[in-house]
């Protein structure tokens, strides 16, 4: 919603009130949490996308570059990228295609597996991802509307939800 057009009430809280009024009392809190999570994701995703766009990146492609930057040799098999980012193989292929077009990564044969392909970050990719990270840190990651303590607590709660949903094992 454009600034200046702020609602005078929380529409999700109103939705929870309506849920209860219609007899869905046991589901009202869950509906509020899920809807709030989705809305919060929209807010932070749009901020992150706006910051990485001048670097010829989407946030998804930024994540691929960061994963490659953090890897020991600056390269990973495409399947491992999808597994670690928890995305479909087609999404990885599309991201690598675009990153390769922009000369941020290059594909190469995997010497461990003659048929497998590795994505390797280029020096141009390293430069752009470092610059994008500086911008994201300054404009998104360091400027959440939460205190450090609130951020830690929210992360712990979301990790608990993801763990219980089978997102990862300990």
Q: What percentage of residues in the chain have a pLDDT greater than 90?
A: 93
Q: Domain boundaries in the chain?
A: 1-55, 57-170
**Per-residue model confidence (pLDDT) at position 2:** 62
pLDDT digits (tens, 9 = 90+) for 39-76: 999 999 999 999 999 999 999 999 999 999 999 999 99
Q: Does 1 have pLDDT greater than 70?
A: no
Q: Which of 2-6, 76-80, 111-115 has the lowest mean pLDDT?
A: 2-6
User: What's the predicted TM-score (pTM) here?
Assistant: 0.91
For range 11-16, the mean pLDDT: 98
**Per-residue model confidence (pLDDT) at position 113:** 81
Which residues, at least 6 apart from 48, have a Cβ–Cβ distance to it below 8 Å? 59, 62, 136, 140
Q: What percentage of residues in the chain have a pLDDT greater than 70?
A: 98
Render 96-152 in DSSP notation, one character per residue.
HHHHHHTTSEEEEEETTEEEEEEEEE-HHHHHHHHHHHHHHIIIIIT--SS-HHHHH
**Per-residue model confidence (pLDDT) at position 114:** 77
For range 1-17, the mean pLDDT: 87
CA 158 to chain centre: 14
The mean predicted confidence, pLDDT, of the chain is: 95
**Per-residue model confidence (pLDDT) at position 112:** 86
pLDDT digits (tens, 9 = 90+) for 118-160: 999 999 999 999 999 999 999 999 999 999 999 999 999 999 9
Q: Does 3 have pLDDT greater than 90?
A: no
What does CATH list as the number for 57-170?
Answer: 1.10.10.10
């Amino acid at each position: 919603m454009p600034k200046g057009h702020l609602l005078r009430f929380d529409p999700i809280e109103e939705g929870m009130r309506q849920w209860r009024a219609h007899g869905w009392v046991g589901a009202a809190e869950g509906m509020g949490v899920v809807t709030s999570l989705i809305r919060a994701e929209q807010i932070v995703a749009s901020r992150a996308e706006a910051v990485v766009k001048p670097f010829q990146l989407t946030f998804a492609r930024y994540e691929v570059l960061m994963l490659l930057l953090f890897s020991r040799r600056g390269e990973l098999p495409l399947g491992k990228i999808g597994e670690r980012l928890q995305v479909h193989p087609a999404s990885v292929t599309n991201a690598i295609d675009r990153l390769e077009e922009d000369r941020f990564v290059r594909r190469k044969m995997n010497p461990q597996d003659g048929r497998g392909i590795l994505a390797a970050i280029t020096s141009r990719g390293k430069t752009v991802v470092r610059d994008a990270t500086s911008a994201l840190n300054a404009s998104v990651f360091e400027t959440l509307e939460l205190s450090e303590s609130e951020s830690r607590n929210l992360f712990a709660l979301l990790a608990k939800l993801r763990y219980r949903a089978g997102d990862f094992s300990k």
